[in-house]
Chains A and B, each alone.
Chain A
Amino acid sequence: MPKPQPEYDIKDFIRACKGNGGRSSIVALEGGVRRTADRDFNLKTREAILSFIATGGLENLEFVNSIQYRRSTEIPPPICDAYHFKSGFSIGYISFFYSESNKKWVIKSFHRDDACGPTAFEIAFRNAELLPESLEGSE
C-alpha cells in the first residue's frame, strides 16, 4: 500500500547529491537511469544528473507516492519515494530510495513524465488507495 507521506526528507537526498560538486559517491544510479536522463533531459553523465539535482534543478517538486521496492523476497524491500518535478518546458518523474545496508541513495527512475511514468489515472487511483495490488510498484 503506498504511503501518503514521503519516507525521506527530500532535502537529505538533495544534500547527498551535492557531495563533492556532483561527484558524490553516496548516490548511485540504477541501470537505465542515465539513458532516460540523457534521452529526456540531455543529462548524459552521473555527474551531470547529480549536479542538476544539487543545484535546484528539480523545480516545483510534488510528492507522488512512497512504495516498497521489491526485487527479491529475501531482502526487506526499501521504501522508494517518487516525485514529479518541473524543469523548463518538461515535467519529470524521479524516484529514489536509501539503501541502509550500503548507506547509499539510489536513483531508481529519472525521466520525463509523459515518457513512461505512472499515468494520471494511476496516480489518482493510488492516492485513492484503489489501485489493485498487482499493479503496486509498477511504472
Chain B
Amino acid sequence: MEKVICTYCGKDAVSIEEHEIELSEPYGGSSTIKIKEKVCSHCGFTEDDGSNDLVIQKELSVLKRISMVKVLDELNAMGHTTASMERALGLPARTIARWKNERSMSPSASAIALMRIIRTYPWVLAVADMQFDHEAARKILLQHAAKELVKISSEHPEVEVTSNAQMSGNHFELFIKGSKKIIPEVVSSGNNVFEFLR
C-alpha cells in the first residue's frame, strides 16, 4: 500500500478522517455524505482527499435528477404543460418528458439550468412564446414586476407603496417607494398633548 505523506511537512504521519458534509441543489433539496480528509498528526495540516470528487459527483447527480423532476412537476402544477413548454422553447417533442420520466437518462447541466431559470421566472415562457421579441419581453417583465409589487404590498399591509412616473426635461423618472405607514399615537400628559409618530 502506498504511503500517504503530508503535502506540507512531507512526514508520513497522515491519517484519514471522515467528515459529514451537506450537499444541496436548488429545488432538489439536500443530502448528507461522508468525505475523507487527510490529517497530519505531525504538523496538523489537513488536505482534501482526492477520492471525494467521485462521492460528491455521484450524490450531486441524484440531487440534480430530483431537482429536475420537482421543477417540472411544479411547472406542470402551475398549468404549463410539457408540450407547451417544448413548443415555446423550440425543443424537439418529448424532450422535457424524457428529462422527467426516463430514469436512465441524466439531463444535461444546461437543461437543468434552463429549467431552474424557468421555474424561478415562469413568465420567461411567455417571452419565449413571443419569439423573444424585445418589446414583448419588456412588456411581460413590467407586467410581472407590477404583479409582484401588488403581491408584496398585500403581504405587508403596514407598508404604503407609492409610485410615480414623469417626464422631466430630457429624462424620464420612475420611482416606487415603500414606507411604513405612519400611525399617529396621542399621549396625554397633564395639560399637554404629545403626538408621537410610531
Shortest C-beta distance, B110 to chain A (Å), equals 15
Are A28 and B57 also in contact (CB < 8 A) when A75-B8, A106-B7 are? no
**What 1/0 mask marks residues of chain A from 110 to 133 whose CB sits below 8 Å from any chain B CB?**
000000000000000000000000
Question: A44 near B: Cβ within 8 Å?
Answer: yes
Size of the chain B interface, CB-CB below 8 angstroms: 23
B52 touches A45 (CB 8 A): yes
Give Cα A31 to B44, complex, Å: 11
Which residues of chain B come closer than 8 Å to A32, judged between CB atoms? Answer: 46
Question: A71 near B: Cβ within 8 Å?
Answer: yes
Give Cα A30 to B47, complex, Å: 4
A72 touches B43 (CB 8 A): yes
A102 touches B7 (CB 8 A): yes
B45 touches A101 (CB 8 A): no
Shortest C-beta distance, B12 to chain A (Å), equals 12
Size of the chain A interface, CB-CB below 8 angstroms: 23
Set A33, A45, A102: member contacting B56, Cβ < 8 A: A45
Question: A46 near B: Cβ within 8 Å?
Answer: yes
B42 touches A101 (CB 8 A): no
Which residues of chain B come closer than 8 Å to A102, judged between CB atoms? Answer: 5, 7, 10
Give Cα A99 to B8, complex, Å: 6
**Which chain A residue shows the least CB distance to B59?**
A44
Give residues in A with beta carbon < 8 Å to B: 25, 28-35, 44-47, 71-72, 74-75, 78, 99, 101-102, 104, 106
Given contacts A45-B56, A46-B50, A75-B8, 13 further A-B pairs with CB under 8 A are A25-B50, A30-B46, A31-B38, A31-B46, A31-B48, A71-B9, A71-B44, A72-B8, A72-B43, A72-B44, A106-B7, A106-B8, A106-B47
